[in-house]
Structure 1
Amino acid sequence: MIKLIASDLDGTLLQGGAQSLDPAVFDQIRVLKQHGIRFAAASGRQYVNLRRLFEPVQDEISYIAENGSLCIHNGETLSKSLIPRGLGVRIVDAIHRCAGCDLIISGERVCYTDSRSQAFIDHMVHVVGNDMCMVGSIDEIREPFLKISVCNFDGTKECLRYLQDLFSEEIKVVTSGNIWVDFIAPGSNKGTALQALLQHLHIDPDACVVFGDQYNDVEMLQLAGTSYAMSNAAPGIAFYSTYVTDSVPEVLDDIIASLDM
């Protein structure tokens, strides 16, 4: 019996570059809750951004934010992973040498950038909707680094290869959508965060359904008893899933229909 459903956002629950959810999803979450099925948003986005996206049900769901570096349930932080400061500084220096790339460093409630690109800053604030703090240098950032993300509006193919060659032996380097590359704290991913949530709720992984579309979703897809890769997912993601789907809401409708039988 299903006890928890976790879904990635960008490219999964949010399709075609959408930055807001179909209100029907909130109704689905409420119906699932009435049947004892919890919902978790699992994303590379920051926690406060996710709460805004799910505002009508923001206190009724759980959050796996920053690609698993942060897991919060009922306002309680269940797990948090950090990038060692020295490693983070070396990563930032390498990103600065990568043409066309801008970066954000995630704290627990705010993201920082030293970018001078107004187009990038406008994208983060007005399109993505992050709470941002602009700094002259990363030396100004006083809190620990949860995650480092690289944005390249021309695509991530070149910078991904460059950054993986430099750092893949020290830290997980994964794509997160079509224009993002994420550095995730050692030992942390959406799967480890989901495991922490399931343990807290005393739910077996076999009673969990997961949706994803990128390599940052792999561990989560592997953990769940039932998993769905999106039909437009990154190459190879379907290998890690039970099924493939075009639409998360359609699968949720099917689950809800089965509950009413």
Structure 2
Amino acid sequence: MIKLVVTDLDGTLLNDQHQVPERFWDIATRLLKKGVKLGIATGRPHFSITENFKPLMGHVYAISDNGSFIMYDKKEIMSKALPHEEIAGLVNTSRAVENTYPVLCGKDFWYLESEDKVLLDRVLVFQKNIKIVDDLTKVEDPILKMSVLDLPGAELHSYPHYKPFADRLKVTLGGALWVDVTRKDANKGEALKMLQAINNISAEETLAFGDFMNDYEMMKNAKYSYAMKNAHPVIKETASFITKKDNNEGGVLDVIEALCFNA
């Protein structure tokens, strides 16, 4: 019996226009009425979850910033900030790579040091609360995640430059154009295990969906782990199952219907 459902957003639950499928609201309501716990696990900030899922806030675990921050019913469950002494090195690495933009992701604001339209257009999809600063290395607020917008493509262009940090920080691909860096112990898999522990739910009772490398650990901590039809090849290899439909066709919702209501 499925007791916990956790889904990624972009490339997974959301379509390519970053919209929540209309069918989701009825399915989510039915899950909650059935007593199934529901979680949103994303690289987006907490603000983006509350903005897009207002009708469900108070009933859904909001796992943001790749597992660095968990909120439930306006209460902070967990927060894992990057070591402050690492920030300058991370920012300077991006500055040295052409066509990349570093972004510091705090609890309430995302910090940028450029007002280039290409950056703002990408960032405002995820976070409306932004601050433009002269120097990101001087930001004093706790930072949950450092993201890099990489216009040529993150996996082959900027990602290799962050490998020297991998012995002490979690460096992952957050999307085709994004590199994400968090604390070593901050990822969606660790966040999922925390939800399981809080609710006394096992991995065998957990259903999880993802599409990209920041979902890797989450796929390993759910018996019913589903990679999207459109997922990164490594996620397809890691997950136990693959959805028959992609994120634009409601692949997540079809699986939930089959496993949670028709089983």
**TM range, normalised to the smaller chain?**
over 0.9
Matched residues in 1 for 2:81 and 2:170: separation? 12
Give the match for residue 158 of structure 2.
159
Give the match for residue 212 of structure 1.
210
The residue type paired with residue 257 of structure 1 is F
Give the match for residue 67 of structure 1.
66
Bigger shift: residues 136-145 or 206-215: 136-145
Give the match for residue 49 of structure 2.
50
Q: Is structure 2 residue 138 aligned with structure 1 residue 134?
A: no
- 1:205: Cα distance to partner? 2.1
- Deviation digits for residues 89-112 of structure 1, max 9, x if unmatched? 111011111110112111112211
Give the match for residue 90 of structure 2.
91
- 1:118: Cα distance to partner? 2.5
User: Normalization by structure 1: what TM-score?
Assistant: 0.93
Matched residues in 1 for 2:219 and 2:109: separation? 28
Bigger shift: residues 61-70 or 81-90: 81-90
Give the match for residue 8 of structure 1.
8
- 1:149: Cα distance to partner? 0.3
After superposition, residues 169-248 of structure 1 pair within 5 angstroms as 169-245=167-243, 246=245, 247-248=251-252
Kept after mapping to 1: 8 A contact 2:57/2:73: no
- Deviation digits for residues 171-224 of structure 1, max 9, x if unmatched? 111111111110011211101111112212222222110001111111111111
How many positions carry a matched residue from both structures?
Answer: 256
Matched residues in 1 for 2:78 and 2:42: separation? 15
Q: What SS does the corresponding residue of 2:27 show, helix, strand or coil?
A: helix
Cα RMSD, aligned residues only:
1.5
The residue type paired with residue 2 of structure 1 is I
Kept after mapping to 2: 8 A contact 1:71/1:197: no
Q: Is structure 2 residue 21 aligned with structure 1 residue 22?
A: yes
- 1:234: Cα distance to partner? 0.9
In structure 2, stretches of 5+ residues that fail to align are 246-250
- 1:130: Cα distance to partner? 3.4
The residue type paired with residue 99 of structure 1 is E
Matched residues in 1 for 2:128 and 2:222: separation? 29
Q: What SS does the corresponding residue of 1:183 show, helix, strand or coil?
A: strand
Matched residues in 1 for 2:192 and 2:260: separation? 22
The residue type paired with residue 14 of structure 1 is L
Matched residues in 2 for 1:19 and 1:11: separation? 8
2:256 pairs, out of 235, 252, 257, with 252
- Deviation digits for residues 120-171 of structure 1, max 9, x if unmatched? 113322x33432111111244221111000012331121111222x322221
Q: What SS does the corresponding residue of 1:239 show, helix, strand or coil?
A: helix
**Divergent runs of 4+, >4 A:** none
Matched residues in 1 for 2:253 and 2:226: separation? 12
- 1:238: Cα distance to partner? 1.7
Matched residues in 2 for 1:33 and 1:185: separation? 32
Bigger shift: residues 54-63 or 222-231: 54-63
User: Normalization by structure 2: what TM-score?
Assistant: 0.92
Matched residues in 1 for 2:80 and 2:175: separation? 21
The residue type paired with residue 60 of structure 1 is H
